[in-house]
A and B are shown apart, each in its own frame.
Chain A
Amino acid sequence: EVQLVESGGGLVQPGASLKLSCVASGFTFSDYWMSWVRQTPGKTMEWIGDIKYDGSYTNYAPSLKNRFTISRDNAKSTLYLQMSNVRSEDTATYYCTRRVSHWFAYWGQGTLVTVSS
């Protein structure tokens, strides 16, 4: 069974940094592109970016690429999202997803990030 378990969310102050993790199981992690998608409190879904199966290539939403970095450790079956200089508009639930071709086949349960002073 495919499982994606995110962690690392919480309350963070504006301007701070935060690193989210997603541990994958139930499939060969190193075979798949992975993505991060976030959902705002108003339920808007926003694609953040994705990373190639070997970590050699990443794509980002233009509005986020200067502050967010996606990486992976295939030996640990873990996906990461490094967030820097966070803003109130980054408050959202962050989902780790397993991409299949050009769609999001599996989603984690999400981790909530709240940016507030």
Chain B
Amino acid sequence: DVVMTQTPVSLSVSLGGQVSISCRSSQSLVHNNGNTYLSWYLQKPGQSPQLLIYKVSNRFSGISDRFSGSGSGTDFTLKISRVEPDDLGVYYCGQGTQYPYTFGAGTKLELK
């Protein structure tokens, strides 16, 4: 299975600040078709996860441009700029390149 390693485990940020979350995979996430199926999800307190980013850097419908994804191969980053209260929660990366699909353990974003 592809192991997804997220760092840090938790992150404290001031409102209006910027943060980065790292996600590394144990194998390349480049699919045979050339696409890289790395996605990011946010689970707000008491809610279901929601899709933020797919295929490394594509924002899902309705997602603010304050969220940006980057990376390639095995190394990926989610950046959140101008952090707002509604951004708080747990962020997960996930890979859909190889079965079984797997997720990182999550990064909790909290207010400083």
Contact = CB atoms under 8 A, between A and B. Distances in A.
Contacts of B96: 101-103
Of the candidates A35, A44, A109, the one having the most CB atoms from chain B within 10 angstroms of its own CB is A44
Interface in B1-42: 31, 35, 37, 39, 41
Given A103-B54, A107-B49, A107-B50, A47 B103 contact: yes
A107 B101 contact: no
Contacts of B97: 102
Contacts, number: 57
Interface of A: 35, 43-47, 59-62, 95, 100-110
27 contacts: A35-B101, A44-B103, A44-B105, A45-B103, A45-B106, A47-B103, A61-B100, A62-B100, A95-B48, A95-B49, A100-B54, A101-B37, A101-B54, A101-B96, A102-B97, A103-B37, A103-B55, A103-B94, A105-B54, A105-B60, A106-B51, A107-B49, A107-B50, A107-B51, A108-B48, A109-B48, A110-B48
